[in-house]
Every structure is written in structure tokens, then in C-alpha cells.
Amino acid sequence: MTATSTTPRTEIRPRRTGFVHDTVSIARRAIRQLPRDIAFIGPTLFIPLFFLVINVASLSEAAAFVDLGITYEEFQLPVAIVFAVTGVTRAGAMVLDIQNGYFDRLMTTPVSRRALLLGHMVADFVLVVALSVPVMILGFFMGARFDTGLLGVLVFVLIGALWGLGYTGIPYAIALKTGNPGAVNSSFIIFFPFAFLTTAYLPAENLSGWLSTVSTYNPVTYVLGGLRSLFTGWDAAELGKALLATLALAAFTQTLSLLALRGRTSPK
Amino acid sequence: MRGLRREHRDDLVGARVHHADAADDDGRDCLVAVGEGTHDRCVGRVLPDVVFRHRDAGVLERAVESSTEAAAGAPVELDGVDRGSRHGALQSRRGMRSSVGMPTHQASQRFPNATFPFAARLAAMSTPHAAAVKTEGLRRTFGDFTAVDGIDLEVRPGEIYGFLGPNGAGKSTVVRMLTTLLEPTGGRAWVGGLDVVAEADDVRFSIGVALQEAGLDENMTGREILATQGRLFGLSRSEIADRIEQLAPILEMRALDQLVSSYSGGMARRLDLAAALMHNPSVLFLDEPTTGLDPPSRLRVWEEVRRLNREFGLTLFLTTQYLEEADELADRVGIINAGRIVAEGTPGELKRAIGTDVVTVVVDDGDADAAKSVLEGIDGLDGVDVFGDEVRVGTENGSQALSPVAIALGSAGIAVRELSLRTPTLDDVFLDVTGTHLDAGSSAEGSST
């Protein structure tokens, strides 16, 4: 056995880690993959930029008859941000993990099961913040200005990112439940009622009939209201409602995703 | 303790144990260690209180009695050995529990001075041939379908156990249960003495797993996959770097920083294997490790498997549908069919049960039973069996049996389409116990003739 004399001995032993350590490990991996997934990021960025330009170009004159309190560019920038951050998720990558067996590999490690989900969501948070940057730049280029200054801009992006993070529970729940990439991709459709049955184009007082009623129950209405308030000053009530709406959605969707995670990771 | 003076060989602590080799003259196993200063030589006897396996992957953790003393052959009792800091360190490394294949109360009776719970583990592990993997009545159903139907098996530490069977036999289901991915619906299983259901999290520290589909993310580089794996097992940055260097013989180091999507099937499989080894497990599960690989890649994986077992003392549980793979690699083979183990033993034992040689006669349709009657009248044949239009004859001396077989069949007017002589293969064993061949693909590729 000549090879034995060169065989490296190892004293390496596995050690218990914690939830935070596991979350960071999973998040590092997910974040590292982001720039390699241009096919995903490209269209995701195109949609909000497209809607911002088109909506402003086509509707700003019509909206001149309405008292918005802010410019129509400013009125539309929150819509573009919500479009930029909603449904932006690594749930598709998680489905690929399930399909190619990498998820099983992770399941044979002692990693915290909840860290598998939260680690991806940390990457989602990084991504939505990154996607917000070009949208904000375009908004500034088009004339949007924040009376709340730089802090207002940061809060604007943060609320948008929290909303996006809250919404990710839906695609993750679908990913973990079905393991089907098609189902995850089509989960964006669920966002359509949220996106359009709200104050996306006109303020609440100008909506009428059933649309007015539906928009009252649509959390996006309050998120948009909170974001728009930042253009004119600090309005605790509007910001509070935006945060509450975001947290309510997050509580619901993340419960779904955790239940789906439990189903996927249970060895039953 | 009676009749045996202790003289621990402390200089051997930390040596890498190769394996407990074949029994020596006085019938006791020889502990062969390799490493600094030991270089593949017999350093002692496998005594009941020698603990060198489990999750420490073949590194000798305690001193052993020297060969000379052990030759006295006296039974050794555990007297609470080494209860000091070394055990404390082990305990703090991870939460050791008491179930190690032997119920705590039994261990307590046998080793009354042992300190529990760790000593119970030590005591139970010190039983001769404490199992690295053990199942009792393991069963798994999916609705009305029974995939695994009451499997009892035991894999000894340092052994390569081959689980051979056709597609759908239940091999992967067994592996998924043993690796905590799937819960049994009946029976129990232990890996490294740990219950795969009740102590699933602890089991995951002890095992490395390479499943049938290489579990790799094609959007990551090989190094990133290994690093992520290492981090999830708590390895530090420097440990990860060291471990990657140690695993270099398995890896394509030049391709380590390339995306896995650019890897060939063989490269991906070896990366998968390396990822399974990152945390230095004591039991490695390989589910069909060479399925889909070309012959050169297959041979390379085989060599790595042998090396891991030989040099690292790793216990390997591998499933395969390839006869040759089981024959070449496994110390013992369990043949599984329709969720049940139908034969088990070393490849040699299994094949010897068929006979030294096998004469196979293929006759025209409908003539097989007549041929069997004719051949049963010939002296010196061990057994005649019919499988379709094939008549298989076991015999101690095939070359001498050929002529009488041909003449007898010719005299009886039975047309012989094919007459061949070969040594038995595991396919013969499978045929013997199930009445069917392993699927044609695996037989054609795998059987050694």
C-alpha cells in the first residue's frame, strides 16, 4: 500500500451551527448566484422601467385634471417600485434545487430547515433593493423629488423591499408545494389584481363603484399611499398604514410558505 | 478485568486505522493502522473496549492494547475507561446520546462502571461488530404500494456493503430512509448507532450522501459547492480549504473554479462524492454511483470508492444495479428484489452457493423441462434449474461436465441452440433466488463472464 503513506490525515470534524449561521450560508450561496442569472434579472428590471415610462407618457395629461398633490411622475414612481419588487424571488432557483437534487443534498446536512427559506429571502431582499436603484434613477431623471430628502428615499426603497419580501411567501409556497417551475412562474398572475385593482393610476377619491371598494381592501393601496407620502413630507399615519399592510400580507404569505416548507422537508 | 494487563499504546492515538483485518492465528482480529509511524502494520487486536470507529472515520481515539498482550486472549471488560477530558471533549462536540444499537439498560448491565450517557454509547459501540448500519424489519409503503418490505441488515464498520437489485427493487427507498430523507412506515434503522428517526439530526453529522442524481447546482462552481457544504457542517474557512486539498485526488482541481454546468458526467459525480466527504463522515451512502457513466469514469469512481475504504476506513453502503460493480467493490452483498432481501453474503459465498462452474444450455421452446429431466440423470451435477428456454446446471467441474451434457441431450433428441460454460456470477445468484435475471441492461454491462 504505497499510497497510504501519502494519505492526508484529517482532524476535521463537523460542528453544530446555528440558525443565523445557516441562514447566512444559504444566503451567501443565493446572492452569489444572482449575477449569473441575467435571464431572470433582465426581464424583471425591464417591466417596471417600461411601465413607468409608458404610464407617465400616456396618462400624465389625463391626470392633469386630478389633484394629486404631487407630479404624475412622482405618482407613478411608487407603482414602478412595487412592480420592480413584487414577485422578484429566488423561488424559481429553489425549484431547480428540488429538481436537480441539490435540495436533497441540503436535506442530508444538519442545516436548519427554516434557514433554507430565509437564506433565499435574504438574497431576494438584496435583489429587490438592487432592482430599485435603476427605477429610482429613472424616476429622478423624469423629475421626481423627495421633500423628505435622502432618508425619505431610503425609507421609500425599504418599504418597497419589505413589501416585495412579504409577497415572496406566495411563490415560495408554490415552489415548495409543487416543485414545478411553471407553477412558480405563473404565480406572478396572482399579483395582477393586487397591482391593478388599486390606486395605480388614480387616487382613491377618484375611483368609483366596485373598484373603489376593492381598492379599500387591497394592501397595495396603502403601500402606494405610504410611498407617495414621502414625496411631500413625513406622514406617520400613511407610513404606518403602509407598514401594517405589508406586515399583514407578509404574515399571511409567510405562513403559507412555512407550511409548504414543513411539507417539503418532512420525511413522512 | 481478568488476566490482561493494560498497557495502552498512547503513541498510536490519532493514527488512522485502516481496518480490522482478517482473523489472526488465535482467532482474533488484527487492528491494522496506517499513519505516522504505524505504516500499515498490525498494531493491536480488536478488543471490546477499543473504540476507533463511529463518526471519527477510522482515526484511533484511544490507545489499544499491544499485540503481545492481546494475544493472551482474555476477555476484556470495560471499566469506565478514559472518562476524562477526552470524553468531555467528545461530548461537547455534539450532543452524544445513549442509544447506540444496544439499549442503555443492557449496556449498563454489561458495563456496570460505565458513566452514562456517553459511556453507554462507548460500551455499546464496543460490542464486537457494532453495526455501522442496522435495520430491523424496515418497511416503507406509499399508499397501497409496498416499496420496502421488512428489511433486516447489518453493515459492519469499515465494510463496503453492496445493495444489488434491479430498478424499482427498493434500493433507493432504503437509502433515503437511512439518510433521514424518508421516514420508515415500519421497523427501525440505526446509522452509527443512532436512530434515523428519533435522532435524525445527529445521524446527519455522521453520514455522507451521494444520491442517484448528483445533487449539484449547475450555477455554482465546484469550489462553491464544497465550501457551502463545509459551512453547513460548521467547518471554518481554513478547514474548508484544507479539506478541499485533501480531497484533491477525487476532484478535477483544474475545473474547481468552473461552473458545474461545464462538467462532464464523471467530473460531476466525483464532485458529488467530494461534497459528501467534506465533513469527514464515518458512513458514506452511494446510491448507484456509476449509473450513466461511461466505462472509464466508472472505473475511476470504483477506484475512489476502494481508496476511501482502504485509506480512510470509511464504511460504505452502496446501491447498484450493476453486477460487476457489486462483485468488484463490495465486501458483502445484499440482493434486493421487490422490497425484500433475497440473498446476502460475500460475493464469493453467494456464487459458491451456485456451484464452482455453471453450464448453461439454451434449447428450443418447450424442450427445457425435457432437458432438465435428461440432465438430472447425469452424475456429478449439483443442480439443474430451468428459466424459460434456458437450463442452468451447477457443477464442481464444468469442463468435465460439458461433454456428458451435450451427449445426453443429443441422445435424447433435444436440439441445443447454445451451450456455454462459465463461472457463476451474481446474476446467477439473482436468477437462483428470484427466477429472473437482473434487467438486461445491467446484466449486459455488468456481468463478468
Among chain A residues, the shortest Cα distance to B55 is held by: A13
Are B232 and A22 a contacting pair at CB < 8 A?
A: yes
pLDDT tens-place values along chain B, 449 residues long? 333 333 344 445 444 444 444 334 444 444 544 333 333 444 444 443 333 333 233 444 444 444 333 333 333 222 232 323 323 222 222 222 222 233 333 333 333 333 323 333 333 444 434 789 999 999 999 999 999 999 999 999 999 999 988 888 899 999 999 999 999 999 999 998 899 999 999 999 999 999 888 788 888 999 999 999 999 999 999 999 999 998 888 887 788 899 999 998 888 988 999 999 999 899 999 998 888 888 888 888 888 888 888 887 889 999 988 888 888 889 999 999 889 998 888 888 887 777 678 888 998 888 888 898 888 888 877 778 888 888 888 887 777 888 888 888 888 888 888 888 877 777 777 777 777 776 544 433 333 32
Q: Which residues contact B24 (CB under 8 A, 6 or more apart)?
A: B30, B42, B45
CA atoms within a 13 Å half-sphere pointing along the CA-CB vector of A236: 0
Of B18, B228, B280, the CB nearest to A13: B280
Between CA B98 and CA B78 the distance in angstroms is: 16
Give pLDDT tens digits for A197-233: 888 888 888 888 888 889 899 999 999 999 999 999 9
Q: In what order do the strands lie in the sheet with B29-34?
A: B16-23, B29-34, B41-45
Q: Which amino acid is at B22?
A: A
Residue B408 near residue B375, CB atoms below 8 Å: yes
Residue ranges per domain, chain B? 10-125, 133-348, 352-446
Cβ-in-10-Å burial (0-12, 13-18, 19+) of B25 comes to exposed
Between CA A128 and CA A246 the distance in angstroms is: 15
With residues binned 3-state (H G I as helix, E B as strand, rest as coil), the percentages for chain B, rounded to 5, are: 35, 25, 40
Give pLDDT tens digits for B194-220: 999 999 999 999 999 998 887 888 889
Between CA B249 and CA B256, with CA B255 as vertex, the angle to 5 degrees is 75
Residue B244 near residue B265, CB atoms below 8 Å: no
- Cis peptide leading into residue A219 (ω within 30°): no
Between CA A79 and CA A160 the distance in angstroms is: 10
Between CA A121 and CA A27 the distance in angstroms is: 8
DSSP string, B286-332: EESTTTT--HHHHHHHHHHHHHHHHHH--EEEEEES-HHHHHHH-SE
Between CA A238 and CA A227 the distance in angstroms is: 8
| pTM strictly above 0.80 | no
Between CA B172 and CA B363 the distance in angstroms is: 37
Neighbours of A216 (CB within 10 A): 12
Of A4, A12, A101, the CB nearest to B34: A4
What superfamily in CATH does domain B133-348 come from?
P-loop containing nucleotide triphosphate hydrolases (3.40.50.300)
pLDDT of residue A88 exceeding 90, the answer is no
Between CA B318 and CA B288 the distance in angstroms is: 7
C-alpha cell at B215: 445533487
Q: Which residues contact B398 (CB under 8 A, 6 or more apart)?
A: B356, B357, B358, B359, B421, B422
C-alpha cell at B322: 450493476
Q: Which residues contact B424 (CB under 8 A, 6 or more apart)?
A: B351, B352, B354, B355, B356, B357, B358, B394
Q: Hey, which of A1-10, A241-250, B207-216, B320-329 has the most confident mean pLDDT?
A: A241-250
Tell which phi-psi region holds residue A18, choosing left (phi > 0), alpha (psi between -120 and 50) or beta.
beta
Are B243 and A10 a contacting pair at CB < 8 A?
A: yes
Q: Please give, rounded to a whole number of angstroms, the shortest distance from the CA of B119 to a CA of chain A.
A: 21
Helices A149-167 and A169-178: crossing angle in degrees, nearest 10, is: 20
Q: Alpha carbon B234 to chain centroid distance?
A: 27
Backbone angles phi and psi of B41, in degrees to 5: -135, 165
Among chain A residues, the shortest Cα distance to B311 is held by: A4
Between CA A130 and CA A157 the distance in angstroms is: 10
Q: Which amino acid is at B39?
A: H
Q: Which residues contact B266 (CB under 8 A, 6 or more apart)?
A: B293, B294, B296, B297, B300, B301
Q: Please give, rounded to a whole number of angstroms, the shortest distance from the CA of B421 to a CA of chain A.
A: 36
Are B211 and A5 a contacting pair at CB < 8 A?
A: no
Q: Please give, rounded to a whole number of angstroms, the shortest distance from the CA of A108 to a CA of chain B.
A: 6
Could you write out the three-class secondary structure of A126-157?
HHHHHHHHHHHHHHHHHCCCCCCHHHHHHHHH
Average pLDDT, chain B: 72
Give pLDDT tens digits for A104-134: 999 999 999 999 999 999 999 999 999 999 9
Give pLDDT tens digits for A155-209: 999 999 999 999 999 999 999 999 988 888 888 788 888 888 888 888 888 888 8
Cell 455554482 appears where? B220
For chain B, say whether A192 makes contact (Cβ under 8 Å).
no
Q: Please give, rounded to a whole number of angstroms, the shortest distance from the CA of B246 to a CA of chain A.
A: 6
Between CA B270 and CA B265 the distance in angstroms is: 9
What superfamily in CATH does domain B352-446 come from?
YebC, transcriptional regulation domain (3.30.70.980)
C-alpha cell at A61: 395629461
Residue ranges per domain, chain A? 17-265
For testing contact with chain A, the best of B86, B231, B286 (most A CBs within 10 A):
B231
Smallest Cα–Cα separation from A228: which of A102, A86, A82, A125? A82
Q: Which residues contact B399 (CB under 8 A, 6 or more apart)?
A: B357, B421
